[in-house]
Chain A
C-alpha cells in the first residue's frame, strides 16, 4: 500500500459520508487541478476535516509498513488530508514535468497558521524533501510557537535534513522557548561540539541573569568546549 493510500484509509475511518464525498472530489482536483484549486482545497481542509487528533488504527500490517516511523500520533485529521492532497498531486504529475515543488511551496507560503502547521509537520513525506529544505529552515524564524513546534517537535525532518548550523539554532530556539529536548526527534544522533558549546554558553547566560537553566540542557551541553571570545 502506498503512503497516500494508507493515510487515506485512516482518514476514511473517521469522517462522515458527506466529508468522504468532499475528500474524494478534492483528491481528484488536487491531483489534476490548477494551482489556485489546490490552494483552495488545502485551505478547505480546515473546515471539512478539522483539527481533532487523528485516530490511529493500523491493524492492517501492509498499511502499518507504509506508515512506519511517521509520528502521526501527534497529527490532526487535517494534517493527514493535506499531505494526501500533495502526495496525490506529485504522483499524478510524476512524468509531466509539472513543478509540484513550487505548488507545495505555494501551499505553505499562502497558508494560514493551521495550513502552515500541517505543511511543516508533513513536508518530509514528499518526494525530494531536500528541495523544500530552504523553506523549512526559513520557517524556523517564526515567532508563533505552535508553528515552530510543528518543525522542531515530533518531526524527523530537522534531524534528517538540516545542516549542523541550522539544526543547532533549532535546538537553541527550543531551549529558549522552554520546549523539552526529548521532543526533538533524532537529537542524540545529531549532537556535535558546536551545539554543546552553544548550550553551555546559554546555561552561563541564564545563570549570569539569575534565571533557571532548563533541566534537560545536559542532553546537549555535555562535553562542550570552552569558547574564546577575544
Chain B
C-alpha cells in the first residue's frame, strides 16, 4: 500500500529513516515548518530554515524516491517573541508562492496568548491571499480549550473549513473537529499524543471521513514509521484495506491537493533514483549507487 505521511520533520531525521520509510511504502511526505526545540534569536534563522525545507530536504528525500512537500509558517511558540514575529511574517509571502509549499503551517496555539491569536489570525489571512490551505497545531496543554478556540477563530474569520487541517487530535478533541468542516489529523507517538490502538478505536467509532494520521517525527522521542505501524494494527483489528487507504492516502491527498501544488498523479511512474546526483555539489550518499537495503 502506498502511504503519505502528511506531517513529519525530516530535518531532524537521518538517511536511515528515509531508507526505512521508503521500504515501508511511504512515497510522499509533508514537512511543516515548526520550531527547532529552542527559540531562534533572529529572523535570519528562519530564512535558512525555510530555504532548507524547500531545497536541501526535498533533495534528500528524492534520493530515496520520496516526494517531499512543505508548509511555511510562524509556529505559535515563537509568535510570542514580538521582535521576531513581525519580521518572519514579512518574509512569508515570498515563500508561500514557491513550488512544493502546500499549506500555511504549523500555526495555532501554544500558551493561548493574545499574541498567538493575533499571528494565528494573520497567517490565516496570508493563506487566503495565497490560496493555500492551513495546518493547525493544537496545544499540548489545555488541549481541548485550545482546539475549541482554534475552531472558533477559523469560523470568525470565515475561512473555508474544508481547507483547514486541525492536527494532534485525541479522544477529547476529535468530536469538536468533526462537528466543524475541518479535517482531523492524529499524531501517533511512542509515549505521548495518540497511539496505534487508540487510533483504531477512534476509526471504529467515527469512521474514516476527514480522518488523517501522521508520525510528526522530529527531534524528540518519535518514530518515522508510525503511519505504516498504524496500518498494521488497523489490519490486525479488522479495518478494511479500503478504509485504511482512505486514511493514509485519499484523505491527505484530497486535503493538500487543494493547494494546487500537491501533484502525485505520476507517482506510479517514479523517476529512477539516481544516487550519484549531487545537490550544490554535495551528495547525501557520497556517490553511492542505488542499493536497496529492504529490512525484513
Contacts and interface: CB of A to CB of B under 8 A. Distances in A.
Contacts of A202: 141-142
Interface string B76-98: 01001100000000000000000
B144 A176 contact: no
Contacts of A172: 141-142
B39 A138 contact: yes
Interface string B169-203: 01110001001000000000000001000100000
Interface string A203-230: 0110011100000000000000001011
Interface string A179-212: 0000000000000000000100110110011100
B41 interface: yes
The main secondary structure of chain B at its interface with chain A is loop
A36 to B, nearest CB: 17
Interface stretch (A27-35, A49-57, A83-91, A139-147): A139-147
A169 B141 contact: yes
Interface of B: 37-39, 41, 77, 80-81, 110-113, 140-145, 148, 170-172, 176, 179, 194, 198, 220
A142 B80 CA distance: 13
B38 A142 contact: yes
Contacts of A142: 38
Interface residues of A, number: 23
A229 B148 contact: yes
B236 to A, nearest CB: 18
Contacts of B198: 209-210
Contacts of B113: 165
A166 interface: yes
A98 interface: no
A28 to B, nearest CB: 30
Most B CB atoms within 10 A — which of A142, A205, A210, A227? A205
A109 B42 CA distance: 12
Nearest to B113: A165
B80 A138 contact: yes
B81 A138 contact: yes
Nearest to A142: B38
B170 A208 contact: yes
A161 interface: no
A229 B144 contact: yes
A125 B113 CA distance: 27
